Structures are given as C-alpha cells and as structure tokens.
Amino acid sequence: MNMLEVFDKPMCCSTGVCGPQVDPVLPRFAADLEWLKQNGVSVQRYNLAHQASEFANAPDVKAAVAEAGTDCLPIVRLNGQIVSRGNYPSRDRLAELCHVPTGTSLPIADVNCCDGPECC
C-alpha cells in the first residue's frame, strides 16, 4: 500500500477550508485526498501550526523548511520520498504517483472545516 504524506503550511485547521478567504485549491485537494483514500492509498496530513513535531521527525522535510522556509510548503511525500514541493499536485498527478486509475468516480467534496476549537 502506498503512503502519502502532506506537510502543509500553518493553517487554522487540518484542511485550511475555513475562515473568510479560502484558497479554492484547498477544497479540491481535500477531495483528491479522500479519493486517494477510497482507492486504497494511506494518507496522512500534517499542519505546521498543530503538528510541528511531524515536521521535525522527517529529516528531509525539516531540511527543506530550514533551507527555503515555509515557501517550500506544501511538501508531499510518497513512501518516504518527497515528490512535490511548493504546490498541491493535481488529481491526475496524484493518481500517476500512486498508480491509481483516474477513471474511478469523484467523491463529493464534503470537507468539514472545523475540526477543533482553534478553527474559525
């Protein structure tokens, strides 16, 4: 099974889909991650504001942030290897990386923005 990890910039909640100005890329990417999960990919997402220890425990991510600052985020790792830096890959790119056929159905983007008291 493939393991995809996403190391996000600091956001108010795990998806960034909250607050007055939501980046339109974030709901799409959240739906893409759900789609990957439904297609057998293990997905973990880490937010620098809430899970800094995960960044510190990943030497390659820690080095990238030390070198470029948070401009290198988001970082996407597949099976422990960085495969993307500085942007959210498209669904087609994620499918290619994870060897998931793109013909599978698209889930409805039902992302709950508020997953804790720190949100909104």
DSSP-derived 3-state class of residue 59 = helix
Residue type, 21: Q
- Model confidence, pTM: 0.81
Asked whether the beta carbons of 109 and 31 are under 8 A apart, the reply is yes
Residue type, 78: L
Domain count, the chain: 1
Task: Give domain status of residue 104, yes or no.
Answer: no
- Render 9-32 in DSSP notation, one character per residue: PP-SSSS---SSS--THHHHHHHH
Beta pairing class for 81-85 and 3-8: unpaired
Quick: pLDDT tens for 64-82. 999 999 999 999 999 999 9
The CATH number assigned to the domain holding 15 equals 3.40.30.10
Average pLDDT, the chain: 84
Task: Give domain status of residue 117, yes or no.
Answer: no
Q: Tell me, what's the pLDDT at 117?
A: 43
Q: Tell me, what's the pLDDT at 14?
A: 58
